[in-house]
Amino acid sequence: MFRPVPCRLPGFIKTYILTPVGRFFSCSIGMAKSKFEYVRNFEADDTCLKNCYIVVRLDGRNFHKLSELHKFLKPNDDRALGLMTRCARSVMEDMDDIIISYGQSDEYSFIFKRSSNWFKRRASKLMTHVVSQFSSSYVFYWKEYFGGQPLLYPPGFDGRVVLYPSNRNLRDYLSWRQADCHINNLYNTVFWTLVQRGGLTTTQAEDRLKGTLAADKNEIMFSEFDINYNNEPLVHRKGTALIWEKMEETVTKRVKLPSEDEKEVPVTRFRRRVSACHCDIIGDQFWEEHPDILEDDNC
């Protein structure tokens, strides 16, 4: 593109010289960048180390208040747990480099494969994208799980990024989170049983459970309330692991034959979908059944 530039020649004749417009833009932009671009030097390099699993873990911010105001059922509200898992599925479907996610209560961990190059492995970009996608999904899908009950205020989540260099490190991390799920759920189950069925106040129930071990808590539930903790739903005791699974589907496709006739033929294809598992991920069985989750340690 060209733009006219006025120019006076001898004899007071006014004329115009066509000058490429791009030259003016490149010049002005170049000057602006050279003047202000120095501020980029204040940015810290947060590129994640290569050949490491990137774990983004988010936690609900002040979810005790949110659960109280929205009257979540105690000790576990399946609506809230289902909503959390739906949000996690939304994140995985948006970022297919996530190989597995694990969630319990108001937290979820998202594990990116070691070879992932999403956002050039910038920790801040990965964390903010996961947290924002999850938070917006929580608001978007709220009605699917809570019906006409209004969401009284926007929920908040914080996030962090941790790197794990080996398969063993990653498995130990996930084992730690599932062990935490078991410890917390066992305590909450017996605590709210003492309150709701035992008639104790929350303070009395807390005092009753001070210094008790897992065996003591199981004994209280079984001997006093005829509750076998092992029969409690797996989603409460084990949490939720989201993984990618291949799904086979058959569709009908129209094919043109040499005789110029068309024929419908069945075609089998494979698609990936996010699947939820409520099972033990501390032992070896889960990993042996899903060997494609972890990458080779010799990469």
Domain boundaries, the chain: 53-182+234-240
Read off the pLDDT of each residue in 56-85 and give the average, rounded to a whole number: 96
Residue 59 annotated as lining a ligand binding site: yes
202: tokens are 């929350």
Does pLDDT of 285 surpass 60?
Answer: yes
Torsion over CA of 239, 245, 248 and 253, rounded to 10 degrees?
Answer: 110
What is the rounded CA–CA span in Å between residue 274 and residue 194? Answer: 38
CATH number of 53-182+234-240: 3.30.70.3000
Q: Which pLDDT score, from 0 to 100, does residue 299 have?
A: 56
Beta bridge partners of 9: 13
Out of 30-44, 109-123, 178-192, least confident range:
30-44
**Around Cβ 104, how many Cβ atoms within 10 Å?**
23
φ, ψ for residue 239, nearest 5 deg: 80, -165
Look at the block and give the residue holding tokens 């070879």: 115
Q: Does residue 20 sit in helix, strand or coil? A: strand
Residue 129 annotated as lining a ligand binding site: no
Residue 61 annotated as lining a ligand binding site: yes
Read off the pLDDT of each residue in 275-287 and give the average, rounded to a whole number: 97
Residue 105 annotated as lining a ligand binding site: yes
Out of 63-77, 220-234, 240-254, least confident range:
240-254
Residue 60 annotated as lining a ligand binding site: yes
pTM confidence score: 0.82
Does pLDDT of 72 surpass 80?
Answer: yes
- Cβ–Cβ under 8 Å, residues 14 and 8: yes
Residue 62 annotated as lining a ligand binding site: yes
Task: Report which of 182, 159, 161 is spatially closest to residue 60, judged by C-alpha positions.
Answer: 159
